[in-house]
Amino acid sequence: MIMTTSPSSAKIKMLLIDDEKDITDIVKMDLEANWGYLVTTADSGKEGIEQALKNDFDLVVTDFSMPDIDGEIVLDAIKQAKPKLPVLIFSIYHDDDSTIRDSIRKKAAAIVAKPIDYEKLHETIAKILGK
């Protein structure tokens, strides 16, 4: 589905962190083309933390399971340095899965299950950002 870019989403800058480049490419393309977001990508948890700390983003979206640094460590590092920056987590686990601990649920702005439902992803992002 192709959506027109709304003025409210046109200037939203987000960081997308996932070790699977094909996922970051597809998600970035969808978020930019269909929703008008400005998306920067990072292909590792370490790179994602570095990008999040040195740049200004409105939202960070990170994978939960990555080989170098997992999403919980990424979440903690970002929240420690920038407590008001919302972080959304992608996970193969559902929000009610015991693998996603309560501490993660409390710190993350939201958890979105993989495979990604793009309509739900946009709704979740809009809700987080109050759009």
Whether residue 7 lies inside any domain: the answer is no
Q: Please give the average per-residue pLDDT across 121-127, as a whole number.
A: 93
Q: Please give the average per-residue pLDDT across 121-128, as a whole number.
A: 93
Q: Please give the average per-residue pLDDT across 94-120, as a whole number.
A: 72
**pLDDT score, position 91:** 77
Whether residue 31 lies inside any domain: the answer is yes
Q: How many domains, in total, are found in the chain?
A: 1
> How far is it, in rounded angstroms, from Cα 2 to Cα 71?
30
Whether residue 2 lies inside any domain: the answer is no
H or E element in which residue 120 lies: helix 118-129
| DSSP annotation string for 66-105 | -SSS-HHHHHHHHHHH-TTS-EEEEESS-TTSTTS-HHHH
Distance, C-alpha 58 to centroid of its chain = 10
**pLDDT score, position 6:** 47
Q: Which band of pLDDT confidence, cut at 50, 70 and 90, is reported for residue 99?
A: low
Whether residue 101 lies inside any domain: the answer is yes
| This prediction's pTM | 0.84
Query: Is 6 strand, coil or helix?
Result: coil
pLDDT higher at 104 or 19 = 19
Whether residue 82 lies inside any domain: the answer is yes
Whether residue 4 lies inside any domain: the answer is no
H or E element in which residue 5 lies: none
Whether residue 104 lies inside any domain: the answer is yes
Whether residue 92 lies inside any domain: the answer is yes
Q: Which domain holds residue 71?
A: 13-129
Encode pLDDT of 54-93 as tens digits. 999 999 999 988 899 988 899 999 999 999 999 999 876 5
